[in-house]
Amino acid sequence: MKKSDVVRQILKDRDGLSPKNSAVTAYAPSNIALCKYWGKRDQELNLPVTSSLSISLGDKGSTTELSISQNPHDVIFVNGRQMDAMSPFAKRLLAFVDLFRVNRDINFVANIQTNIPIGAGLASSACGFASIVMALNSLFAWELNESDLSILARLGSGSASRSLWHGFVEWHVGEQSDGFDSYGELITETWPELCIGLLIITEAEKEIPSREAMQRTVTTSPLYSAWPLKVNQDLSVLKRAIHSQDFLLLGQTAESNALTMHATMQSAWPPVFYALPETITLMKKIWQLRNQGFMLYFTQDAGPNLKLIFLEKDANAVRAEFPQVEIIKPFSLPVA
Ligand code: PMV
């Protein structure tokens, strides 16, 4: 099945709708996986090998302003700069927007403002694609349900399927080949004291895009067969930890999940290694602090930056140990 078939199927009763609004704005938060998505069973539809679970990053994310234009082609601005249509990121965005023209002779202007570094393993594509889908939904007044919106966002980037909500989100793996059962769902439990700390080592774009790194891991890592088992275990432990607000269980499971994902990709060939020397130094410092009784864990995505996981009562101590940290309180915003 192709992406365009999925879009057609979801919009089949809404195809005739013309834009209801001249311009709309939609916000989607970025999200960080506590149990990671690493590996696709379908490359075209971004269908995952496993389920995954994330926490959204509150006011860190993307705002997309979308309108219909008189231009002869689509125009996309990212953080105020018009994208060079030939750059790989622009091509990806333009191909995505193109899916939604469905039988219509129209062009879009999209103005995407993102307040996190792009392509540095901070889920900028997740919030970007999710905010575009939300903007399209309100521009055309489709009134799609959350699972359909999540499926559409997934076609842009897998992790975008988890970026439609604030709070904890589970992306269900699904088993159908068309992916209509593979979408994100809000976990309604909240945890107001939970904090995420961004430790940005570099804002430079990653050397190996996650799509390529994932595929290389799936096809060449001798450890990959163990990954789905690890995810299934971690997922149920994390849900239990969230339910019982057991911070140590949550932190330990999330950190171990990230380290296992990186060990698996490091054993791919050619190896995929996202850490920089500073990443390792920070990890060692976190382990040392933990040995001294500090309740502090980390997770790492497809880049060298780390995200700390801790409770609000330790925020000042975290600031003292890591002066560069940017602290996010995912539940300080109203859950939308
Ligand atoms: O959605 P993508 O293709 O950017 O992949 C995201 C991969 C990780 O961030 C490493 C893990 C995850 O679940 O978000």
| pLDDT for 153 | 98
Q: What's the angle, vertex CA 154, arms to CA 88 and CA 69, rounded to 5?
A: 60
Out of 45, 301, 305, 306, mutate this one to test ligand 1's pocket (max ligand atoms within 8 Å of CB): namely 301
* Block residue for tokens 């060692």: 284
Q: What is the mean pLDDT of the chain?
A: 93
Distance of CA 296 from the midpoint of ligand 1 (Å): 23
Identify the H or E element spanning 129. Answer: helix 124-139
Least confident of 46-50, 55-59, 122-126: 122-126
| pLDDT for 215 | 98
| Binding site membership of 37 for ligand 1 (Cβ less than 6 Å) | yes
Q: Work out the burial of residue 233: count CB atoms within 10 Å of its CB; fewer than 13 is exposed, 13-18 middle, 19 or more buried.
A: middle
Q: What is the mean pLDDT of residues 2-24?
A: 85
Distance of CA 16 from the midpoint of ligand 1 (Å): 34
Helices marked H in the chain: 3-10, 88-98, 124-139, 146-156, 210-220, 227-244, 247-266, 277-291, 315-321
Distance of CA 122 from the midpoint of ligand 1 (Å): 9
Q: What angle in degrees, to the nearest 10, is found between the helix axes of 146-156 and 88-98? A: 140
| Binding site membership of 302 for ligand 1 (Cβ less than 6 Å) | yes
| pLDDT for 122 | 65
In percent, the amount of the chain with pLDDT more than 90 equals 81
Position 121 pLDDT exceeds 70: no
pLDDT grade, residue 203 (50/70/90)? confident
Q: Distance between CA atoms of 309 and 233, rounded to whole angstroms?
A: 20
Measured from the Cα of 211, ligand 1's closest atom is 3
Identify the H or E element spanning 310. Answer: strand 306-311
Distance of CA 75 from the midpoint of ligand 1 (Å): 26
pLDDT grade, residue 183 (50/70/90)? very high
* Block residue for tokens 């976190």: 286
Out of 125, 170, 210, 264, mutate this one to test ligand 1's pocket (max ligand atoms within 8 Å of CB): namely 210
Out of 114, 159, 231, mutate this one to test ligand 1's pocket (max ligand atoms within 8 Å of CB): namely 159
| pLDDT for 332 | 87
pLDDT grade, residue 84 (50/70/90)? confident
| Binding site membership of 36 for ligand 1 (Cβ less than 6 Å) | yes
| pLDDT for 335 | 44
| pLDDT for 86 | 82
In percent, the amount of the chain with pLDDT more than 70 equals 95
| pLDDT for 126 | 94
pLDDT grade, residue 190 (50/70/90)? very high
CB 329 within 8 A of CB 58: yes
Position 336 pLDDT exceeds 50: no
The token pair that represents 45 in the structure block: 């539809």
Burial 214-230 (b: 16+ CB within 10 A, else e): bebbbeebeebeebbeb
Position 5 pLDDT exceeds 70: yes
| Binding site membership of 159 for ligand 1 (Cβ less than 6 Å) | yes
Other C-beta atoms within 10 Å of 88: how many?
Answer: 10
| Binding site membership of 157 for ligand 1 (Cβ less than 6 Å) | yes
Helix, strand and coil in the chain, % to nearest 5: 40, 25, 40
Q: Distance between CA atoms of 237 and 239, rounded to whole angstroms?
A: 5
Distance of CA 160 from the midpoint of ligand 1 (Å): 9
Distance of CA 158 from the midpoint of ligand 1 (Å): 7
Q: Distance between CA atoms of 178 and 4, rounded to whole angstroms?
A: 12
pLDDT in tens, 248-299: 999 999 999 999 999 999 999 999 999 999 999 999 999 999 999 999 999 9
Q: What is the CA radius of gyration of the chain?
A: 20
